[in-house]
Amino acid sequence: MPVLADPSIDQHGARQRILDSTAELIIEHGVAGVAQRQIAGRVGIRAASLYHHFASKNEIVEAVFRRGIDVMEHAWDEAAERTRGADPRTRLAAHIRAHLSALFDHGPYTAAHVTAFRTAPATVRDAVVPMRDAYEARWAAFLGELATDGELADGTPVGLSRLALFGAMNTTVEWFDADRGNLDELADTITHQFWNGVAA
């Protein structure tokens, strides 16, 4: 059972760098707009060498999308644990902030997922959909719980409200600049708008 320092790091390093570059390029150009020679160029290898790490382009793309969900779920779990037993509004705020963290703080994977998943090849989508549904189910369960606890206004269409919230959060990747803006402020604004609305 050999313990190697550099090789094993590089091994994962190459895979990682391939996925990183692919995710960044997907955000910019969409899945179909990314060529493997582009990916390889960013990583610093030749296109053919990608096949040492992945069996096909679709496999790379699928790995990016899966990672995007992984990141979201980890962010969710961390927020859930941190706010266990807290009041509903605090828990909601934590989960919104966690989702935005997944989009901006933990690599380009989640952002690539939410912007490009819909236009990916059907085979890729079908393979990832179950994972994706599992994450959405967490939100659905959480908001459903709030509803049955009487925390939401009567007659609130929980499913539609969740999707509207998702829309508000996910499209931030199109305009929010994490380097210049304040992510906490953004999360507070979205949370407040979802919870209280904008009316005087």
Of 58 and 83, the one with the shorter C-beta distance to DNA is 58
- As measured in angstroms, the least distance from the Cβ of 85 to a second copy is 20
- As measured in angstroms, the least distance from the Cβ of 11 to a second copy is 31
- As measured in angstroms, the least distance from the Cβ of 21 to DNA is 13
How many residues lie near DNA (CB under 7 A)?
27
77 touches DNA (CB under 7 A):
no
DSSP annotation of 151: -
Q: What sign does the CA torsion over 141, 142, 147, 153 have? A: negative
By the 10 Å C-beta count (0-12 exposed, 13-18 middle, 19+ buried), 192 is classed as middle
Contact, 143 vs 161, CB < 8 A? yes
157 touches DNA (CB under 7 A):
no
90 touches a second copy (CB under 8 A):
no
CA separation for the pair 195, 101 (Å, rounded): 20
11 touches DNA (CB under 7 A):
yes
4 touches DNA (CB under 7 A):
yes
167 touches a second copy (CB under 8 A):
yes
Long-range contacts of 165-171 (CB under 8 A, 24+ apart): 165/96, 165/190, 165/194, 166/136, 166/139, 168/193, 168/194, 169/96, 169/99, 169/100, 169/103, 170/103, 170/114, 170/115
**Given candidates 22, 23, 25, 53, which one binds DNA under the rule CB under 7 A?**
53
- As measured in angstroms, the least distance from the Cβ of 94 to a second copy is 16
Q: State the residues that interact with DNA by CB under 7 A.
A: 2, 4, 7-8, 10-11, 14, 34-38, 40, 44-53, 55-58
